């Protein structure tokens, strides 16, 4: 029972990190129909720039975080403006490959600057272990959960209430109709990418807090695909629920099967195939998958 | 297109090449391919690179059949290569099947596995299929890293698979020079087979599915069968490439050659070479194989010239960055790839000096 509680807690908190990463992916997909294979590298930007400003320059952490997020936004806007805008109307393989190419460039530049060795992140989040129902969990991991839920709430309000949020949903629904209603579609794309970059920046900082600052942070970009498919590619609550389910699944699969098999890394992808076969739009996604 | 060509028979119309210049180019390429190993016989590194290019070309043609001609995105190329390589390795080292029989067995087995992974394509399109194949890639990667092929048990650690030296009529095919001929023959057979397949009703069905699957179905093409066939045939050639990779040179099969990065490299090959073009696949395979090799030798030159920065430390990132940059630039400026660039060059000289 002790083990079960421990697994559940780690699963929940890992899932929260997944959920944060997934939020950015879903935001971009929801409004621009682009699946961003470079999401992991946006996390890397967040992790390394925060490491530079807070750890190397010794700035106070709120300033460091703001600088990190601003740089992330600048990169995202540039990527949208100079690369993805030219890809509008191109076949889906081109869009996928362009984000993959981008991920390789960003990965190379970041690791080229800071080198391959993992760095320790200047932890400004309290990381003292907490004791909950007899299981221990780092406080920084709980922060991931809290931040994920707060961001979900903020985004939900944003998409339901604010003008820009409604415009984003309109663009996602039907680009031409949105344009004819006078929505500046290009600015909306830039906004979508900026919000995704902010989310990725926050996720990157939190992931770096837990995992340390290294290239491994970028692997989350691929590991998060089962999460977004499970939750539904265009659903924000789906990203959170999917993240937590996959996080729990990983922990249980890793602990209750022979550890030499390393099942915890592959079970999410098996789940992904099963979901795609049974319910391709995910738990909360819109049913608009075409089948032929 | 060339003008002034008048076909009076169906055979003339069906021919791949119509003009003397086209025949000349074909013969030139063949002569160069045959002369290359003889000229560079002493330079093992060049022969190694040539072999890698040719194997990659076979794999890229296979992938292009699926992605470029049938429009089914696959991020699982590395997995299919792995299936080919490990099958060839297992049947030769565990069951003693001779290598020349093991290669077709591996290719056929990969075709079956590929068709199995093609089943989701019935329900999934585009992005979702890409993610499904990505998952397949991860699952196969997990399998080959946790399955012991020497003992054939799922034991958790893989262990490298070592193959015996291929022999043919008592001759050992141990050097790059020897194996070049095997690979070249396989590549030529692949090119001939795929080019001809694409002119049959099946090839036309592939393209119909790519261009508009609903319209294709209305025209009487069974999309499920066609997609499965595309996955199967494509995987056959990918498996062939994988089996060749397993057999030549080091003859050790390890999982590092079959990661998701390999899938991405192959996709980059066909995009840079030209989607939906057999010759483009070859150009792309050569380009993407030579690019890191050229950067390596550039690094060696810089290192030798006594540059102050430590080149070897930067080189991996330089390679990765250039790789991404090339993909992005090609997609933005020439989405149809090297095949289109080459066509432009030919068109320019065809009209020269009286271009419009």
pLDDT value, residue B309: 62
Is the CB of A139 inside 8 Å of chain B's CB atoms?
A: no
Average pLDDT over residues B28-41: 91
For residue A291, pLDDT over 60 is answered with no
pLDDT tens-digit readout, B201-257: 999 999 999 998 889 999 999 988 999 999 999 999 999 999 998 877 566 777 888
Q: Which residues of A touch B117 (CB under 8 A)?
A: none
Residue B309 contacts A where some CB pair is shorter than 8 Å: no
Angle at B258 between CA B253 and CA B263, to 5 degrees: 155
Q: Is B165 helix (H, G, I), strand (E, B) or coil?
A: coil
Asked if B324 lies within 8 A of A108 by C-beta distance, the reply is yes
Query: Domains in chain B and their CATH numbers?
Result: 36-351 (1.10.3470)
* Burial state string for B87-114 with b = 16 or more CB within 10 A and e = fewer than 16: bbbbbbbeeebebeebbebbbbbbbebb
pLDDT tens per residue across span B50-101 = 999 999 999 999 999 999 999 998 999 999 999 999 998 888 888 888 888 8
pLDDT value of position A210? 81
Between residues A99 and B99, the one the model is more confident about: A99
Closest Cβ–Cβ partner in A225, A280, A292 for B134:
A225
What's residue B308's pLDDT?
58
Least confident of A80-94, A195-209, A220-234, B304-318: B304-318
Residue A283 has pLDDT above 50, yes or no: yes
Concatenate the DSSP letters of all residues of A191-208 into one string.
Answer: HHHHHHHHHHHHHHHHHH
Measure CB to CB from residue A270 to each of B139, B155, B319 and give the nearest one: B139
Whether residue A97 and residue B317 make contact (CB cut-off 8 A), yes or no, is no
Preferred mutation among B129, B142, B272 to probe A, highest tally of A CBs within 10 A: B142
Count CA atoms closer than 13 A to B80's CA, side-chain side: 37
A–B: how many Cβ contacts below 8 A? 142
- Mean pLDDT over all residues of chain B? 87
pTM for the model stands at: 0.91
Question: Between chains, do A94 and B331 touch, taking CB under 8 Å as contact?
Answer: yes
Q: Check CB contact of A225 with chain B, cutoff 8 Å.
A: yes
- Residue-wise burial string across B190-218, b where 16 or more C-beta atoms lie within 10 A, e elsewhere: bbeebeebbeeeebebbebbbeebeebbe
Q: Do B264 and A269 touch (CB under 8 A)?
A: no
Shortest CB distance from B321 goes to which of A91, A109, A272? A109
Asked if B120 and A276 come within 8 Å (Cβ–Cβ), the reply is: yes
Of A231, A257, A259, give the one whose Cα is nearest residue A244.
A231
């Amino acid at each position: 029972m002790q083990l079960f509680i421990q697994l559940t807690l780690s699963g929940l908190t890992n899932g929260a990190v997944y959920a944060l990463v997934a939020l950015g992916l879903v935001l971009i997909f929801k409004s621009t129909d682009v699946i961003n294979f470079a999401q992991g590298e946006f996390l890397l930007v967040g992790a390394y720039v925060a490491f530079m400003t807070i750890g190397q320059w010794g700035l106070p952490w709120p300033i460091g975080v703001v600088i990190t997020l601003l740089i992330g936004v600048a990169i995202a806007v540039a990527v949208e403006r100079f690369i993805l805008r030219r890809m509008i109307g191109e076949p889906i393989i081109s869009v996928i490959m362009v984000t993959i190419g981008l991920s390789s460039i960003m990965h190379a530049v970041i690791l080229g600057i800071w080198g391959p060795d993992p760095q320790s992140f200047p932890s400004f989040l309290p990381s003292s272990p907490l004791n909950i129902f007899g299981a221990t969990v780092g406080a920084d991991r709980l922060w991931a959960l809290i931040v994920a839920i707060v961001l979900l709430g903020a985004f939900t309000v944003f998409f339901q209430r604010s003008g820009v949020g409604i415009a984003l949903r309109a663009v996602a629904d039907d680009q031409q109709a949105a344009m004819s209603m006078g929505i500046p579609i290009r600015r909306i794309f830039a906004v979508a990418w900026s919000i995704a970059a902010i989310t990725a920046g926050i996720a990157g900082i939190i992931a770096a807090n837990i995992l340390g600052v290294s290239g491994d942070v970028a692997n989350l970009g691929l590991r998060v695909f089962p999460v977004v498919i499970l939750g539904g590619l265009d659903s924000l609550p789906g990203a959170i629920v999917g993240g937590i389910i996959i996080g729990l699944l990983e922990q249980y699969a890793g602990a209750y099967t022979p550890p030499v098999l390393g099942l915890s890394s592959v079970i999410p992808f098996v789940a992904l195939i099963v979901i795609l076969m049974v319910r391709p739009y995910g738990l909360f996604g819109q049913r608009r998958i075409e089948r032929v | 297109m060339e003008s002034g060509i008048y076909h009076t028979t169906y055979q003339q119309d069906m021919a791949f090449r119509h003009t003397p210049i086209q025949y000349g180019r074909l013969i030139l390429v063949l002569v160069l391919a045959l002369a290359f190993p003889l000229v560079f016989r002493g330079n093992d590194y060049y022969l190694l690179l040539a072999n890698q290019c040719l194997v990659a070309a076979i794999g890229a043609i296979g992938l292009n059949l699926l992605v470029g001609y049938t429009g089914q995105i696959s991020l699982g190329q590395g997995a299919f290569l792995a299936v080919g390589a490990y099958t060839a390795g297992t049947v030769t080292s565990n069951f003693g099947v001779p290598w020349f029989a093991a290669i077709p067995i591996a290719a056929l087995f990969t075709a079956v596995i590929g068709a199995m992974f093609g089943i989701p394509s019935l329900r999934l399109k585009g992005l979702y299929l890409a993610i499904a194949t990505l998952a397949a890639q991860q699952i196969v990667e997990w399998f080959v890293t946790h399955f012991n092929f020497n003992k054939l048990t799922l034991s958790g650690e893989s262990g490298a698979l070592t193959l015996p030296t291929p022999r043919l009529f008592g001759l050992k095919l141990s050097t790059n020079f020897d194996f070049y001929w095997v690979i070249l023959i396989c590549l030529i057979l692949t090119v001939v087979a795929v080019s001809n397949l694409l002119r049959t009703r099946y090839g036309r069905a592939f393209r119909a599915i790519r261009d508009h699957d609903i319209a294709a179905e209305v025209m009487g093409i069974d999309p499920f069968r066609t997609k499965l066939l595309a996955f199967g045939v494509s995987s056959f050639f990918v498996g062939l490439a994988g089996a060749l990779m397993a057999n030549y040179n080091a003859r050790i099969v390890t999982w590092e050659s079959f990661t998701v990065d390999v899938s991405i490299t192959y996709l980059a090959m066909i995009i840079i070479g030209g989607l939906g073009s057999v010759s483009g696949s070859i150009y792309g395979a050569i380009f993407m194989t030579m690019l890191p090799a050229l950067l390596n030798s550039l690094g060696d030159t810089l290192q030798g010239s006594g540059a102050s920065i430590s080149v070897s430390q930067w080189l991996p990132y330089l390679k990765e960055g250039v790789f991404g940059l090339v993909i992005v630039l090609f997609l933005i400026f020439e989405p149809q790839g090297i095949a289109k660039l080459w066509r432009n060059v030919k068109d320019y000289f065809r009209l020269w000096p009286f271009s419009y």
